[in-house]
Amino acid sequence: MKNICIEKNEGLTAGEQQIELVERKGTGHPDTICDSIMEAACLSLCREYLDKTGRILHHNLDKGLLVAGRTAPKPGGGETVEPMRIITGDRATMSWNGVPLPVHDIVESAAKTWITDHLHFVDPERHVVFQHEIRPGSAELSDLFSRATIGANDTSAGVGYAPLSETESTVLETERYLNSPGFKRLFPETGEDIKIMGFRNGGRLDLTVAMAFVDRYIADCADYFKKKQAVSEHLEAWLQSGNHSFDTLDLQINALDDPERGEGGIYLTVLGTSAEGADGGEVGRGNRVNGLIAFGRPSSLEAAAGKNPVSHVGKIYNCLARNTAERIYSEVQGIKEVVVFYCSRIGSPVDRPLVASARITAEPGKAFGPIGRAASAIIESELNGMAGFLDRLALGCFPVC
């Protein structure tokens, strides 16, 4: 392919720079809830389309909004005053050969299943109201799916990089640990709404953690601070056991807490998520497809969650770029860091992008020619295997948040 470009980067890698800022919005964060629900709905709709028609039809479910409810948390257990509202939107094929397809039912069922599986204090029948605003797609974009070769439905770009820096890995793995079954067994008073900001300055890493506590497990304010201290000490020990290379690692949990303000000065929830009464959410405002918001990295503003996995390059190229970068880094010797870009042109086959490029930081003294040729071959291999990649994407094999 003539539109593959390999570029040598002479600059510092992310981990070599003086400052890094990296954020992760955890499972129960309202933005992550929106991304996860709409992606689950997309995958369910893909299965329905395949079952009923033998192909994936036009749909994009990347418009979702969570309107926070109202609760009255208090030590010992509060109450839900008004349920959350989840608004699902954008476009989908609503019928096939004159036969209606139950799109809204499929989307709502997928959302309820995800909530049940991941937000253990939220009952989707009692605590959530669903409002469906999904409409049929435009004739021009829907027609893409009736062609022999389905083309890109947008002119857009995706980006991915490898490897994660130590700061990025620490932020990602910390949230995953805090929301793991093992941690929840130890600390059932912690909810799923966890957000982590990592700030590295040279060899010092500061982690600021926001973590919802569930009121039914908290007897009073003193008990809250006692349990928060236990969580903090456990997490500090876990971080120190991780064999990291930071000179200093500082941890703060729920930095807004103020013991002088009584119940008004603690992060207490009824359902373990701020979506119950404090914070709304929206698709696309959260983590990128590698699970992070890394402020010093190139990134796409595309919301990958909910986009169809057959023609929407906002999903395809971001996931593919990440996968390609990881392959290049793991398979080609002499690379410190690689960033991969794919750019589409609307209507062109997704396996023939307008440009595919890699920006590579090589190890000192390594000849760049062989590295560049090997990277180019991997990119071509990924594009040649696009059909299989799209099949896996439609099965949910690649996370998007």
CA distance 167 to 19: 10
Same domain, 319 and 341: yes
Q: 390 φ, ψ to 5°? A: -65, -35
**What is the predicted pLDDT for the residue at 247?**
96
Q: 250-293: per-residue pLDDT in tens?
A: 999 999 999 989 888 999 999 999 999 999 999 999 999 999 99
- CATH of residue 321's domain is 3.30.300.280
Q: Are the C-beta atoms of 275 and 34 separated by less than 8 Å?
A: no
pLDDT at 145: 61
Summarised one tens digit per residue, pLDDT across range 375-385 is 999 999 999 99
Check whether residue 292 and residue 319 sit in a common domain: yes
pLDDT at 150: 75
In terms of DSSP bridges, do strands 190-201 and 19-25 run parallel, antiparallel, or are they unpaired? antiparallel
Range of the domain at 182: 166-282
Looking at the structure, tell me whether residues 272 and 311 fall in a common domain: no
- 293 and 160 both lie in a single domain: yes
pTM across the whole model: 0.95
- pLDDT digits 0-9 by tens, 107-140: 999 999 999 999 999 999 999 999 999 999 764 4
Compute the CA torsion angle 67, 70, 74, 79 (nearest 10 deg).
Answer: -110
At 22 the pLDDT is 98
The predicted pLDDT at position 162 comes to: 98
Q: How many domains does the chain have?
A: 3
The verdict on residue 158 lying in a domain is: yes
20 found inside a domain: no
Burial of 355 (0-12, 13-18, 19+ CB in 10 A): middle
- Asked if the structure places residue 139 within a domain, the reply is yes
- Residues 98 and 177 placed together within one structural domain of the fold: no
Which of the residues in the chain have pLDDT under 50?
139-140
**19: in domain:** no
